[in-house]
């Protein structure tokens, strides 16, 4: 038999139990009992974190943050590389089509300026906007780079309001992706031009 709160159970010799009130145990009822129960549970289950525990958590979060930063930067760089390569190839196809039809390449223009004969063939907004790595696309006709003339190419050059931000890792990504893993800053379809500007070669 289970005794009510504030009572003791005494055993009889015949096996029955007798409930004897416990006058030493305070009896709580109603709101007082609920308050006491909640207070006891909170005291047992709501213990705060120690200083050591907090420091360990902060240390773990700091380490995870340091590991995540290079990964995020790498993903952002690769996204920029993919966008630039896509622009290069789309623009190059349009210029090659024009040259095939007309027998010549469009005249030279400044960075960020779309050749007039190409305005109906390329997305002018895409050509004139700042590229993902800074600077603007620049059509080059028979320009020299490190003493070698390149017949037709698309460069990325600094322009007013669009400084070119050279990132070695970005350039390496472009070189390896465009030239299928080979590495040659002065050859292939992608190379560095005079002033270390990125150059996408269409025809040498």
* Same domain, residue pair 28 and 91: no
pLDDT digit string, tens, across residues 89-109 = 999 999 999 999 999 999 999
pLDDT tens for residues 155-174? 999 999 999 988 999 999 99
CB atoms inside a 10 Å sphere around CB 176: 14
Residue 63 has pLDDT above 70, yes or no: no
Domain count, the chain: 2
Phi then psi for residue 145, to 5 deg, are -135, 115
Residue entry with tokens 């560095």: 192
What is the spatial distance between Cα 95 and Cα 122, in angstroms, rounded to a whole number?
Answer: 9
62 pLDDT band (50/70/90 cuts)? low
Q: How far apart are CA 73 and CA 173, in angstroms?
A: 13
For residue 15, pLDDT beyond 60: no
- 97 and 162 in a single domain? The answer is yes
Over the chain, what is the mean pLDDT? 81
- Of residues 91 and 183, more confidence is placed in 91
At 21 the pLDDT is 52
Question: Do 34 and 116 belong to one domain?
Answer: no
More confident residue, 186 or 24: 186
Q: Which domain holds residue 37?
A: 16-45
What is the pLDDT confidence band of residue 43, given thresholds at 50, 70 and 90? very low
199 shares its domain with 137: yes
Whether 27 and 101 share a structural domain: no
Give 69-92 pLDDT, tens digit per residue: 567 788 899 999 999 999 999 999
Whether 155 contacts 201, CB under 8 Å:
no
Look at residue 98 and tell me if it is in a domain. yes
pLDDT value of position 50: 82
175 in any annotated domain: yes
Residue 182 lies in a domain: yes
Task: Supply the pLDDT for residue 31.
Answer: 44
Does a structural domain hold residue 104?
yes
H helix runs in 103-194, sequence order: 124-128, 168-178
Residue 78 lies in a domain: no
* b/e map 68-106, b = 16+ CB within 10 Å: eeeeeeeeebeebbeebbebbeebbebbeebbeeeeebb
Comparing 14-23, 116-125, 143-152, the range with the smallest average pLDDT is 14-23
pLDDT at 145: 93
Work out the average pLDDT over 20-45. 48
| CA diameter of the chain | 121
């Amino acid at each position: 038999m289970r005794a009510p709160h504030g009572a003791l159970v005494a055993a009889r010799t015949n096996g029955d139990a007798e409930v004897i009130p416990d006058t030493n145990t305070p009896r709580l009822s109603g709101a007082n009992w609920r308050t006491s129960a909640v207070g006891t549970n909170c005291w047992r289950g709501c213990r705060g974190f120690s200083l050591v525990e907090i420091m360990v958590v902060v240390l773990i979060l700091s380490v995870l943050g340091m590991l995540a930063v290079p990964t995020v930067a790498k993903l952002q760089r690769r996204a920029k590389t993919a966008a630039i390569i896509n622009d290069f190839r789309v623009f190059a196809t349009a210029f090659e089509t024009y040259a095939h039809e007309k027998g010549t390449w469009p005249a030279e223009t400044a960075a960020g300026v779309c050749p007039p004969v190409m305005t109906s063939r390329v997305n002018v907004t895409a050509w004139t906007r700042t590229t993902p790595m800074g600077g603007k696309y620049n059509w080059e006709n028979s320009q020299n780079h490190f003493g070698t003339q390149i017949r037709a190419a698309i460069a990325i050059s600094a322009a007013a309001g669009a400084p070119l931000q050279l990132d070695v890792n970005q350039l390496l990504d472009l070189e390896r992706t465009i030239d299928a893993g080979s590495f040659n800053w002065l050859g292939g379809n992608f190379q560095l031009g005079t002033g270390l500007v990125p150059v996408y070669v269409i025809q040498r």
